[in-house]
Amino acid sequence: MEYLDFELPIKELQEQYDKACLIGEESDVDVSNTCKQIEKKLVETKKEIYKNLTPWQRVQLSRHPDRPYTMDYIKAICGDSFLELHGDRGFKDDKAMVGGLGKLGDQSFMFIGQQKGYNTKTRQYRNFGMANPEGYRKALRLMKSAEKFGIPVVTLIDTPGAYPGLEAEERGQGEAIARNILEMTKLEVPIIVVIIGEGASGGALGIGVGDQVLMMENTWYSVISPESCSSILWRSWEFKEQAAEALKLTATDMKKLKLIDHIIKEPLGGAHSDKKGAYIAVAKAIEKAYDELKNLSPTDLVEKRMDKYSKMGEYKS
Amino acid sequence: MAWFKRTKKGIQTPTDQKKDVPKGLWYKSPTGKIVDAEELERNFYVSPEDGYHVRIGSKEYFEILFDDNKFKELDKNLDSKDSLKFVDTKKYPDRLKDAQEKTGLKDAVRTAVGKSMGNDIVVACMDFSFIGGSMGSVVGEKIARAADYSLKKKLPFIIISKSGGARMMEAALSLMQLAKTSAKLAQLSKAKIPYISLCTDPTTGGTTASFAMLGDINISEPGALIGFAGPRVVRDTTGKELPDGFQTAEFVLEHGFLDFISHRKDLKRNINLYIDLIQNRPLREKELA
């Protein structure tokens, strides 16, 4: 388990707790009282820390190395029913964008999302969750296939951005994202979007237009990462905390701005400290969202979706 | 003995006493060619010396596209709002005010309806001089309303992109303008109203990732920079040297994302020719000839 700077008090208590338990196992000393006390303190400390997180700390949590990734959620939700599908049918199979069919309860869903890696090797293999144009085109292919058979779409977003590479530009990164956004505004099946980690700009929105957009508590979603924002507006990387503050990128801010529909509460201590709890929370949220959407006709669905996005933006007339 | 001889070596005149050519008389193109400003204007703001297409704004594009420069501007008074209370090195409202004073514009796009070769068209044209042509709520709303106007009156729609992308000072509100404008274009498309995207120098970021790449035809001007990530970001991320002409209109055409590149003097003809052809109408250029 890795800990972020502000999580260190939790680490200390966790270590004390583990040590006490070990002593209890290895000797005849009754440690149950001590353990209980430490456990209580641990919960209180977690509550205290997680109650007062700054936007920048949320950004750090969204990137926590132990945080579950797209495939973890999909496998937890669908179990053996998940069938991964590959390729954009034009160029190649983008490993940073995964997708496939799976069941949640009795209902089939098309799951699509960016995938990050767990160690240096897999991180490179997954290109750090930064998709190329073929990734967005693969996502669109899966969505159109879902539309054809009336299967609802769930997208899981976790990306530091679309890949800004030379070949990505040659193959039309902008066009690929633009096409997805346009097609998603008029897709005739329900689309449920869940931000499970990082929601960086066009790279996120390229699979992020939906009837219901849900954000987990410790995630961020904005037009740019706080680091890049800092480097452009402050001309230095040092102002990322201020940038995180200014961008209003947390789930609470995004809900207030009416740019997302719901916040998914994470287990105490964040998704990384109780993965199972996080999987259940996400599965329930998807089921609830689908219940609210499943009886709408395709025409109503698209009309409502377009209306929702047409209302976004604030100006003086 | 020489007629003129410097008694002291070097240039002695202090900077503030130097005589300057009044601004606006001459234009210097990037290759160093000097062009008379009036001649430049007559030549559609293209340097006759080297064909360089000078960056121009909505005022000039409206002049070029609308007959006799006659048009009705739509939603003139929409103004940006600082909903996020955004502060970086400057407060967003101050930034807006400065940009408005400097440019005389309200925001980074102007929308208008008017006749071009005799028939009405709706044009949304971005102004790069206004905070880098960045797209915030006002840009999104004006483009959406202009598209609605097109839809209602069944008029061809043209967006002239010239933008660095989404406006950071409106954060996620700007990001959602990508979806908002794209939803409108989807409606235009369903109603079979031609939408022409003209990508001009520069068209990058969120603009490329939405309406700029979604035209029934995407067209551009020679040499325009068009890309998703800016060249600096691509170089810094990949550590690779960028090939010559990377992300120019010619490069983007070659890779299949543009239909054609048009010299600025032919824009009006080419746009209207496409409109006549795609709508299977008699060609107006014959009538006008």
Tokens of A230: 């800092």
Residue A94: predicted pLDDT = 98
Which residues in chain B have Cβ-Cβ distances shorter than 8 Å to A181?
178-179, 182, 209-210
Angle at A121 between CA A116 and CA A122, to 5 degrees: 25
B44: pLDDT confidence band, cut at 50, 70 and 90? very high
Question: Is the CB of A223 less than 8 angstroms away from the CB of B175?
Answer: yes
Among the partner-chain residues A182, A221, A248, the one whose CB lies closest to the CB of B182 is: A182
CB of B142 within 8 A of CB of B148?
no
For B57, residues 6+ apart whose C-beta sits below 8 A from its C-beta are B105, B125, B127, B128, B129, B162
Which of A162, A163, A315 is closest, CB to CB, to B79? A315
Q: Which of A134, A147, A166, A183 to mutate to test the interface with B (most CBs of B within 10 A)?
A: A166
pLDDT at A102: 98
- Position A163 confidence tier, pLDDT thresholds 50, 70, 90: very high
- Is the pLDDT at B32 greater than 70? The verdict is yes
Tell me which of B230 and B139 has the higher pLDDT.
B139
Cα A18 from Cα B223, distance rounded (Å): 65
- For the A58-310 domain, the top CATH level (class) is alpha beta
According to DSSP, the β-strands at A153-159 and A212-216 are: unpaired
- Please give the structure tokens belonging to residue A7: 């999580």
Question: What are the sequence ranges of the domains in chain A?
Answer: 5-52, 58-310
pLDDT tens for each residue of B112-140: 999 999 999 999 999 999 999 999 999 99
Q: What is the mean pLDDT of residues B54-70?
A: 96
The pLDDT tens digits of the residues spanning B194-228 come to 999 999 999 999 999 999 999 999 999 999 999 99
Per-residue confidence (pLDDT) for residue B108, from 0 to 100 = 98
A165 and B238 within 8 Å at the Cβ level: the answer is yes
Which of B2, B118, B126, B104 lies closest to B55, judged by CA? B126
- Please compute the mean of the pLDDT values over residues B251-269 and round it to a whole number: 97
pLDDT for res A21: 86
pLDDT, average across residues B22-44:
84
Asked whether residue A287 carries a pLDDT value surpassing 70, the answer given is: yes
ipTM of this complex prediction, to 2 decimal places? 0.93
Rounded Cα distance, A236 and B180, in Å: 32
Whole-number average pLDDT of chain B: 93
Q: Which residues of A touch B144 (CB under 8 A)?
A: 310
Chain A residues in contact with B255 by the CB 8 A cut-off are 170-172
Distance from CA of A279 to the nearest CA of B (A): 27
Of residues B176, B187, B228, nearest to A313 (C-beta): B176
Q: Quick check: A306 and B190 in contact, CB under 8 A?
A: no
Decide: A136 and A177 in contact? Cβ < 8 Å: yes
Q: Indicate which of A134, A182, A187 best probes the interface with B, i.e. most B CBs within 10 Å of its own CB.
A: A182
Structure tokens at A311: 């209302």
pLDDT score at A34:
87
CA distance B279 to chain A (A): 23
Please give the radius of gyration of chain B, using alpha carbons only, rounded to the nearest integer: 22
- Phi then psi for residue B14, to 5 deg, are -65, 155
pLDDT in tens, A175-200: 999 999 999 999 999 999 999 999 99
Contacts of residue B14, defined as CB under 8 A and 6 or more positions apart, other chains included, come to none
C-alpha span between B159 and B149 (Å, rounded): 13
The residue in chain A having the minimum alpha-carbon distance to the alpha carbon of residue B225 is A169
Residue numbers in A near B197 (CB within 8 A):
none
pLDDT of amino acid A258: 96
For residue B202, cis peptide bond before it (omega within 30 degrees of 0): yes
Taking the C-alpha atoms of residue B171 and residue A247, their distance in angstroms, rounded to an integer, is: 5
pLDDT of residue B29: 82
Question: CB–CB of A315 and B255 under 8 A?
Answer: no
Mean pLDDT of A40-44: 92
Rounded CA-CA distance A246/A248 in Å is 6
pLDDT at A23: 87
Look at residue B95 and tell me whether its pLDDT is greater than 80. Answer: yes
Write the pLDDT tens digit of every residue in B130-171. 999 999 999 999 999 999 999 999 999 999 999 999 999 999
Query: B213 and A172: CB-CB below 8 Å?
Result: yes
Confidence of residue B19 (pLDDT cuts 50, 70, 90): low
pLDDT at B15: 67
- How does DSSP classify residue A6? G
Amino acid making up residue B119? N
How many CB atoms sit inside 10 A of residue B145's CB? 16
The reported pLDDT for the residue numbered B22 is 58
Coil, strand, or helix at residue B200?
strand
For residue B260, the 8-state DSSP code is: E
Chain B residue numbers touching A224 (CB-CB < 8 A): 166, 168, 171
The Cα of B8 is separated from the nearest Cα of chain A by a number of Å equal to 44
Percent of chain B surpassing pLDDT 70: 95
Cβ proximity of A201 and A247 under 8 Å: no
**Which residue out of B217, B228, B257 would a mutagenesis test of the A interface target, given it has the greatest number of A Cβ atoms within 10 Å?**
B228
Q: Which amino acid is at B132?
A: G
> Are residues A172 and B256, on separate chains, in Cβ contact within 8 Å?
yes
Find the largest Cα–Cα distance for chain A. 76
Distance from CA of B246 to the nearest CA of A (A): 9
State CA B199 to chain mean position distance.
Answer: 7
- Report residue A110 CA to chain centroid gap: 16
Q: Which of A295-299, A313-317, B3-7, B241-245 has the highest mean pLDDT?
A: A295-299
Cα separations in angstroms, B242 against A130, B213, B235: 20, 22, 7
Nearest to A202 among B167, B178, B243 (CB): B178
List residues bridging with A290 in a β-sheet.
none
Per mean pLDDT, which range of A41-45, A102-106, A145-149, B22-26 is the poorest?
B22-26
CB contact under 8 A, A185 and B179: yes
Residues of A with CB below 8 A from B240's CB? 166
Nearest CB among B75, B168, B247 relative to A224 is that of B168
In which band, very low, low, confident or very high, does the pLDDT at B66 lie, cut at 50, 70 and 90?
Answer: very high
Counted across chains A and B, CB pairs separated by less than 8 A come out at 196
Q: Give the distance from CA A168 to its chain's centroid.
A: 23
Per-residue model confidence (pLDDT) at position A1: 80
CB contact under 8 A, A202 and B80: no
What's the pLDDT score for residue B117? 96
- For A178, the closest of B176, B180, B209 (CB atoms) is B209
Taking only the tens place, the pLDDT of each residue in A110-159 is 999 999 999 999 999 999 999 999 999 999 999 999 999 999 999 999 99
B175 vs A contacts (CB less than 8 Å): 201-202, 205, 222-223
CA-to-CA distance for B132 and B168, rounded, in angstroms? Answer: 11
The owner of tokens 């990505």 is A168
Give the dihedral sign, CA A137/A138/A139/A142.
positive
Mutate to test the interface with B, among A230, A309, A311 (most CBs of B within 10 A): A309
Report the percentage of chain A scoring pLDDT > 70: 100
Q: Label the pairing between strands B109-116 and B72-74.
A: antiparallel
Alpha helices for chain A (secondary structure H): 8-26, 32-51, 55-62, 70-78, 120-125, 133-148, 166-170, 173-185, 201-205, 226-229, 240-246, 251-256, 275-293, 298-310
Distance CA B143, CA B159 (A): 8
Contact (Cβ atoms closer than 8 angstroms) between residue A72 and residue A114: no
Question: Could you tell me the pLDDT band of residue B1, with boundaries at 50, 70 and 90?
Answer: low
Cβ-defined contact of A259 to B176 (cutoff 8 Å): yes
> In chain A, pLDDT over 90 holds for what percent of residues?
91
User: DSSP letter at A12?
Assistant: H
Strands B217-220 and B119-126: unpaired
Q: Are A20 and A35 in contact (CB under 8 A)?
A: yes
The Cα B6–Cα B12 span in angstroms is 10
Q: How far is B99 from chain A (nearest CA, A)?
A: 16
Q: For B170, name the nearest residue in chain A, comparing CA atoms only.
A: A247
Q: Does A234 sit within 8 Å of B88, measured CB to CB?
A: yes
Q: Which residues of A touch B227 (CB under 8 A)?
A: 169, 174
**Number of other CB atoms surrounding residue A148 within 10 Å:** 10
C-alpha triplet A114, A119, A120: angle, nearest 5°: 95
- How many other C-beta atoms are found inside a 10 Å radius of the C-beta of residue B104? 11
Backbone φ, ψ for residue B112 (5° rounding)? -155, 155
Asked if B68 and B135 count as a contact pair (C-beta separation under 8 A), the reply is no
Mean pLDDT of the residues in chain A: 96
Q: Is B257 within 8 Å of B218 (Cβ atoms)?
A: yes
> Mutate which of A140, A157, A163, A169 to test chain B, going by most B C-beta atoms within 10 A?
A169
Q: Which phi and psi (to 5°) does residue B44 adopt? A: 60, 35
